Homo-oligomer: A and B are copies of this chain.
Amino acid sequence: MSIEETSYTPLHRYVLEIAYDGTNYSGWQIQPHRLAVQEVLQKILTYMYMDQPIHLIGCSRTDAGVHALGFVASFLAPERPDIAPDKLLRAVNRQLPGDIKVMSIKEVPFEFHSRYDALGKAYTYVLNLRDSSPFSERYSWRPLRRLDPELLNAAAQRLVGTHDFSSFVVERSKIDDAVRTIYRIEQQIFGDYCTLTFVGNGFLYKMIRCLMGTIEAAGAGKLSPDAVTRILESKNRTNAPETAPPQGLFLMKVFYDEESLKNFKLEKLPFH
């Protein structure tokens, strides 16, 4: 008896690439009493699969207020010949609120894991240097003090490499090993905005926002590049300036192959 003749329904794994405006959400991960992106999507998928509960496995948590362009999540579902992935994509997007979009849905091998199989991630942090637009408040950080892009970049480059990032993590992740590798940090200028794109093998809870707090202080001339190195080497959170706000941060891309990790390049402002 071939498998087609049994009543057994084989399970398939689908992977979603998701873009969202994080302003109105508690982040990706479901939490009590607050609305998470995961919850919104799972409800719609569960509905599409006629109330068979669908569980999404995300590539990471993102904090409340942080945005995403290339968040990756996967789910296991019975194959429904009446819902091809491209049809599902259109149907899901029609149900979603305007601040969440599924960019693609495709089938992947059963054993794929969106978090454990990731080789690295790219995040972009957007600084607004001149405060000239009323439309970017939700998508950038406008520090009150004047920043020098060269000083910002000099500080950022001190953070590249394999380090114990204990000075740049908040309590919640102190239990983890804080050694991570930042492969590169690329600065770009787009009009009045300065972006810093971090490509690394992984980032701790709020790590990029902690790093940006220090980079901002350096950009304002309050910390020398050497001082940044000393803060890094001290492995002590209390030595670093305050955490930068979430609305400037975008998860741009999750990498599952070396080639795309090497070639990633920010083409334009993430919210444009």
**Chain A positions near chain B (C-beta within 8 angstroms):** 19-21, 67, 93, 98-101, 103, 131-135, 137, 139, 142, 269, 271-272
Contacts and interface: CB of A to CB of B under 8 A. Distances in A.
Q: A interface, by DSSP: helix, strand, loop or mixed? A: loop
A19 B93 contact: no
Contacts of A93: 131
Contact of A20 (B103, B134, B142): B134
Max chain B C-beta neighbours (<10 A), residue from A20, A99, A142: A99
A174 B19 CA distance: 44
B101 A132 contact: yes
A104 to B, nearest CB: 11
B272 A134 contact: no
Contacts of A103: 132
B21 A100 contact: no
A98 B93 CA distance: 30
Contacts of A137: 21, 98-99
A139 B135 contact: yes
A251 to B, nearest CB: 12
A4 B103 CA distance: 68
Contact of A134 (B99, B131, B132, B133): B99
A271 B21 CA distance: 15
A269 B21 CA distance: 19
A101 B131 contact: yes
Identical subunits present: 2
A207 B77 CA distance: 50
Contacts of A133: 19, 101, 271
A140 to B, nearest CB: 10
A19 B134 contact: yes
Contacts of A99: 134-135, 137
Contacts of A272: 135, 269, 272
A19 B101 CA distance: 28
A230 to B, nearest CB: 33
| The 3 residue pairs across chains A and B that have the minimum distance between CB atoms | A98-B137, A135-B271, A21-B134
A271 B272 CA distance: 8
Given A93-B131, A135-B271, A142 B98 contact: yes
B134 A100 contact: yes
A25 to B, nearest CB: 11
A261 B165 CA distance: 56
Contact of A101 (B98, B100, B134, B269): B134
